[in-house]
Amino acid sequence: MLIVDDILDTGGTLRLLRAAMERQEPASVRTCVLLRKMRPEALATPCEFVGFDIPDVFVVGCGLDYDDLYRNMPFVGVLDQHAVTP
């Protein structure tokens, strides 16, 4: 079984999904992410396939959004602090 996710940030989603899938007793469970943030929680979460390691910044584009904005950008970019409303 392969679990595919967009971004590995805190690791909570992948840990939850992996545990749920392993209870089904498949032959194997592996995970794949497009982006893994370089932060301790993400690096400590088992992930067999990683597209890109990125700094711990807020990214948007290719389905990743901020307040329903920037999701449709055809690339992944760092969201500037000035674009974030308090």
State whether 46 and 79 are in the same domain: no
pLDDT at 86 over 70: no
State whether 46 and 67 are in the same domain: no
State whether 83 and 71 are in the same domain: yes
Q: How many domains does the chain have?
A: 2
State whether 13 and 47 are in the same domain: yes
pLDDT at residue 84, as a whole number: 72
pLDDT at residue 76, as a whole number: 93
State whether 3 and 40 are in the same domain: yes
pLDDT at residue 82, as a whole number: 76
* pTM for this predicted structure: 0.86
State whether 46 and 16 are in the same domain: yes
- The predicted-structure confidence for 47-77, as pLDDT tens digits, reads as follows 999 999 999 999 999 999 998 889 999 999 9
User: Which range marks the domain in which residue 8 is found?
Assistant: 1-55
Active-site residue 68, yes or no? no
Q: Which residues contact 29 (CB under 8 A, 6 or more apart)?
A: 1, 3, 18, 21, 22
Given the residues 5, 6, 9, 56, the one annotated as active site:
9
Rounded Cα distance, 86 and 80, in Å: 13
State whether 46 and 74 are in the same domain: no
- The predicted-structure confidence for 74-83, as pLDDT tens digits, reads as follows 999 998 877 7
